[in-house]
Amino acid sequence: MKNSYRAFRALIVVAHIASPFAGVHSAFAATPPAAHAKSGPMISKALDALLLPINKGVIKKFKLDKGAHGVLVLSVKPGGVADKQGIKPGDVLAEVQGHKVHKPIDVDVAVRRQLKAGHSDMSFSVARGGAVIAVAAIITLESYNDTIAVSEISSWETDTTVSSSSYEEYVSVESTEIETSEESEETTVEEDLTQDESADADSSDDADDSSDDNSDDSGDDSSDDSGDDGSDDSGDDG
């Protein structure tokens, strides 16, 4: 048991090393990725799942395609959102709403934005067994806001390549770090949404300024032309 746990633990340690960010995708153009967002294991409130960032170590351990990108679904809550929507342990979440995922927090940020816009229908691009599958899911604000206790994730369904004993021990040892990432997730998501609102407000202000400028120019031209024409015509007639 100890040997299997050590191997699993070594894998997760590798997963904590963040890969260089390859640029801001159009999905998040309005708000660049939060610098403080963690790139380690994270409980997704949107999916009721434990997600891992993908790097070379994870690709090798879980026998993923060499070009795999996104986040790995390490485990899912039985009866939770991912489980009900057909997202399984071992799946790789590559896109949400047609936009690329680079780290676990990206999933919840994208879902929360959709919910804030009043939409509960979500689309995921999932790599599974060498094929890419489109998953249409319904996620509500109520389910998103459900509290998940870190103590319960040790019993979640995990990938078949990981023994249940090593997974349970990993969760037990790393529970503090997982709990910390869970606590910081909501702050990160809210900060990104606040930045969205600020960007929208700035755009609105720019539009108002542009409208005011056009209004001023129109008024000046009308006044000047009217005065000049009236004065010149009167003088010539006299």
Report, as an integer, the average pLDDT of 194-223. Answer: 58
Q: Which tens digits make up the pLDDT trace of 117-163?
A: 999 999 999 998 889 999 999 999 999 999 888 888 999 999 877 77
**pLDDT band, residue 182 (cuts 50/70/90):** low
Q: Which tens digits make up the pLDDT trace of 73-108?
A: 999 999 999 999 999 999 999 999 988 999 899 999
Q: What whole-number distance in Å separates Cα of residue 75 and Cα of residue 87?
A: 10
Domain assignments of the chain as residue spans, ordered by start: 2-198
Task: Say yes or no to pLDDT of 35 above 50.
Answer: no
* pLDDT on residue 189: 72
Q: Which DSSP string do the residues of 100-144 spell out, in sequence order?
A: E--SHHHHHHHHHHHHHTT--EEEEEEEETTEEEEEEEE--HHHH
CATH number for domain 2-198, candidates 1.10.3720.10, 2.30.42.10, 3.30.450.20, 3.30.9.10: 2.30.42.10
Q: What is the mean pLDDT of the chain?
A: 74
Strand 49-53 relative to strand 71-76, pairing:
antiparallel
* pLDDT on residue 150: 86
Predicted TM-score (pTM) of the model is 0.67
**pLDDT band, residue 56 (cuts 50/70/90):** confident
Q: What whole-number distance in Å separates Cα of residue 228 and Cα of residue 210?
A: 27
